[in-house]
Structure formats: structure tokens, C-alpha cells
Amino acid sequence: MGGEAKDEKNFASAIGHKNVKSGGYLQKIADLRRYGFMEKGRFIATSNSKKIIQPLTNEEKQEALNECIMSVNLWRDLYDRLGDEIPSPEDFKIHLAEIGDRDRAYKEGDTIQNLYIDAMKHYDKGISHGFYVNFIVYMKDGSVGLFDTKSGRTAEDSKHKAEALANYIEKENKKGKKLWGGIAVFKEGSLRYNDSKKYKFDEANLGDDWKFLNFD
């Protein structure tokens, strides 16, 4: 009741498993928790899981799905790089290796790509998902700054996240909020940020879109 399973054996049976120690069951539980459908350490549905199963609106359901998909760090990092693009298996492995796991790219690249493609079938970029910014600044005038710090290659690969954040800020400000911010980088002793809806990063020449960040 209320999204909580009191008996693990009954729960396992409900999702198609007879043995609570089987590899398939344990993997399914790990996946449910990885995507944020089930609370860690307990058999309780999360709020996002309830929104997906019993949504009040289609938008609420999609927002919850988006948040669950992007709660998987690897999917979020890949989407920041790739956006809607699905590269060839060879190029996908290169991206995967550059994110930081060369061994998995070599051994499991094709499997990971198939899992990523399947996850992204349920993602709708038109619905905002939770942004994982590095720091939030509350100003005296009531405005709120949202910033995600990057450097080098990570700044270069942040186009999709930067533009999604810019669109999110614009959308929320139309509702009366006072948000600002964007991707931030350190350059020559100063902190600069980009709030453009057409994000570009050239480390040698940041350009006019990169504004100096100060809190005076």
C-alpha cells in the first residue's frame, strides 16, 4: 500500500521472478534504483515513480521520466555531448572512452549504446529535466543565479546542457521567476559565464557571449 512492498518475495513474484537471489532479479532491482524508481535500501516507490505510474498530467509523467533518465550519470554525460545525435558504434565508443571508461568502451561499447538508445526513446527534450548545477547564488535583489562550472573538454562538450539551461531559465522567467546563469569557466584569473541560447566555446577566444561573473 502507498507504493511500498512489505514482502520481498511477493514483490519479486509481481515483477516476474521466483527467486530473490537470482541474478536477473538483483539486476532489475539495481536498475530500478539507478533510475530513481525505487528508494535505496527499501522497496518503496519514489515520487517520480508514482508520477509515472499515476500521472495527473502527461507533462508531469514526462518530466518524471526525463528526470529519472538523466539521473543516470552516464546518460547525462552522453546527452550533454551528443544531444539527439546517435553516432556510429565506433564513434560512440570514442565518446564513451573520452568520458573516462576506456575498458568499458572496448568491452561493452555496443551493449551500452543499445541501452542508451533505448533510454533516450523515453526522453523528451521539449520537457525540462532537473538541472544538476554546481552552485546557486541568491542575490539581494531576489534573483537567483544557476551555474555549472566546466573546463577544457567538458566546457566544449556542454553545448546541449548549456542551451537547455538557457531555455529553462527563459521559460521560468516568463512565469515570474528571476533566474540567470549558465555554464561557467575560469579564464585568466576570472570567472566567466555563458547564458546564450546558441552556446559556443573556444578556449583561445571566448568571445562576447562569455560575461564576467561578479557579485558586487
Residue 71, CA atoms < 13 Å, CB-side half-sphere: 16
Establish if 167 belongs to a structural domain.
yes
Q: Give the per-residue pLDDT at 2.
A: 54
**Average pLDDT estimate for 126-140:** 73
**Average pLDDT estimate for 41-64:** 86
Q: How confident is the model at residue 57 (pLDDT cuts 50, 70, 90)?
A: confident
- Of the three residues 83, 112, 130, the one that is the final residue of a domain is 130
- Name 90's Cβ contacts closer than 8 Å, sequence gap at least 6: none
| Statement: residue 216 has pLDDT above 70 | no
- Of the three residues 96, 130, 164, the one that is the final residue of a domain is 130
100 phi-psi bin (left φ>0, alpha ψ -120 to 50, beta other): left
Residue type, 181: G
CA-based angle 53:56:58, to the nearest 5?
A: 80
Instruction: List the one residue out of 20, 132, 161 whose CA is nearest residue 194.
Output: 161
Establish if 193 belongs to a structural domain.
yes
In this structure, what C-alpha cell is assigned to residue 106? Answer: 572496448
Check residues 162 and 3 and name the one with the higher pLDDT. 162
Q: Provide the domain count of the chain.
A: 3
| Statement: residue 5 has pLDDT above 80 | no
The number of residues making up the chain comes to: 216
Counting residues of the chain whose pLDDT is more than 90, the rounded percentage is 26
Q: Specify whether 28 is located in the same domain as 93.
A: no
Q: Specify whether 121 is located in the same domain as 152.
A: no
Q: How confident is the model at residue 113 (pLDDT cuts 50, 70, 90)?
A: very high
| Statement: residue 161 has pLDDT above 50 | yes
